Amino acid sequence: MANITLKGNPIHTTGELPALGTPAPDFTLTGPDLTDVSLADFGSKRKILNIVPSLDTGVCAASAIRFNRDVTTKENTVVVNVSCDLPFAAKRFCDSNGIENVHTLTAMRDRTFGERYGLTMTDGPFAGIFARAVVVLDEDNRVTYTELVPEIAQEPDYDAALKAID
C-alpha cells in the first residue's frame, strides 16, 4: 500500500506501482468507441501511461494537454490516458481541447487496472478511483519509469517521464 495526500490529508492506495525493469501488467480498458483495448493493442511502441483520477479536474486536464503537446516530438511513442471517467466524457474532453495525440481509456467495465498497478485509492473522497501516476514502458512493455504523484493536486514530473523514453 502506498501513501499519498490530497491537500495534505493522507490517502492510501491498494498497492505499489510495478517495479522498474519488470513487465507491465496487462489490462483491458474501454476506449472512446466502447471497444476493449489492451496493452498489446499498442504494439511495440513506447508508452506513457498518464493515469489520472478524472479528466474533469484541472490538474488531470493539464497533464493530458501537456503530454498531448510534448509527445509529438517523440517517435514510436504513444500516450495512454487512463481514468475512471466514462468514455463519452473522455472523448468530449479531448474533442473540446484539441487533444489528438493521447489515447483515452477508462476503467468503465473493468477496474482491475487499479489493482494491478496498485493505484486504486482506498480511502478519502476519491476512494475507488485511481491515484495520479505516470508509468513509462519500453517497446517490450517493460517498466522504465514510474511516478506516483505524492500530492493528488500536483502535476507529475513531465520532464522525467519524457526523458525515460529517450
Active-site amino acid positions: 60
Contact between 19 and 143 (Cβ < 8 Å):
yes
Measured between alpha carbons, how far is 118 from 8 in angstroms, rounded to an integer? 21
Is the dihedral angle over the CA atoms 108, 137, 26, 117 positive or is it negative?
negative
Residues 6+ apart with CB under 8 A from 96: none
d(CA 166, CA 161) in angstroms, rounded, equals: 9
